[in-house]
Amino acid sequence: MNALTTPRKYKSIWISDIHLGTPGCKAAFLLDFLKNTESEKLYLVGDIIDGWALRRNWFWPQAHNDVVQKILRKARKGTQVYFIPGNHDSFARSYVEHDFGDIKVAREMMHETADGKKFLILHGDEFDVVVKYAKWLALLGDWAYGICLRLNDFVNAIREKLGYPYWSLSAYLKLKVKNAVQFIADFEDALAEVAREKGADGVICGHIHHPEIRDINGVLYCNDGDWVESCSALVEHEDGRLEILHWMTPSFQKITTPQTEQEKECVASSSLTLGRLKSMVSFGR
């Protein structure tokens, strides 16, 4: 289907856990989202590029290039773009307080909404004890998760042929495992507490691939989700109201036609070439 004729306009947009460089990344849906939305600020809340996967096996199709180019193009055209690296793109943490072209890199940030509320923004891996203290276990879990995502794609290929909408098998299984549910609850409580300690009204994060907005003892916890399972983003409306968009629900489910040559821009002309990306990922070993 073709793109929306009029882009949806928001004050701010948060996306994370895109995992460019992996087969599980839903780059076509994300590109469609980026084409059909506009905002004053765009926050990239970590795990945009999956350095863990790229070190194992270089995977970088044109669709992943197109996503990077689209984000850079938005930055050049006036959108304020901020990048907060996560654990999978931790190689970029060496560049905190520097810029990638017109994209500012930070370890964490504070955002004030239109209605005056302050939100702490960070990826959230610092509060994942597995990532922090047992990286080998995190890598093993990442490998198993990749297999689950491939099974997820297989199931949805069948569902599409039968005329059914997208459904995340991996997310369903995750929420059926008692320990996973408890981990999510503990993670959310920890993030809400750190926001409270820093005097924020809420927290915006990613990392656990579980989009949600909920009040935790007076702190508004917001997770923008991911682009391998839920294909979701957090948006701020002009009045400061926050909302999660799922770009694979029936009202949004569409894949745009490939870009024309006029729409594409050469990666070599951007500040982030594939060569530079490879060297950055290698540096993060």
* Per-residue confidence (pLDDT) for residue 153, from 0 to 100: 73
Element (H, E) at 169: helix 169-176
In a domain, 2, yes or no: no
In a domain, 1, yes or no: no
Weakly modelled stretches of the chain, pLDDT under 50: 1-2, 129-140, 178-179, 250, 253-272, 283, 285
Give the strand pairing for 103-105 and 99-100.
Answer: antiparallel
CA atoms 3, 76, 271, 87: torsion sign? negative
In a domain, 64, yes or no: yes
* Per-residue confidence (pLDDT) for residue 127, from 0 to 100: 78
- For residue 122, give the CATH number of its domain: 3.60.21.10
Report the SS3 class of residue 204.
strand
The count of domains in the chain is 1
In a domain, 158, yes or no: yes
In a domain, 76, yes or no: yes
pLDDT digits (tens, 9 = 90+) for 77-103: 999 999 999 999 999 998 898 887 789
* Per-residue confidence (pLDDT) for residue 56, from 0 to 100: 87
Q: Which domain holds residue 26?
A: 8-283
In a domain, 49, yes or no: yes
Report the SS3 class of residue 78.
coil
* Per-residue confidence (pLDDT) for residue 157, from 0 to 100: 75
* Per-residue confidence (pLDDT) for residue 128, from 0 to 100: 63
pLDDT digits (tens, 9 = 90+) for 111-122: 999 999 999 999
Spatial distance between the Cα atoms of 170 and 122, rounded to a whole number of angstroms = 24
In a domain, 3, yes or no: no
In a domain, 201, yes or no: yes
Q: How many CB atoms lie within 10 A of CB 261?
A: 6
Spatial distance between the Cα atoms of 63 and 2, rounded to a whole number of angstroms = 17
Strands (E), the chain: 8-15, 37-44, 80-83, 99-100, 103-105, 109-112, 118-121, 202-205, 212-216, 219-223, 232-236, 242-246
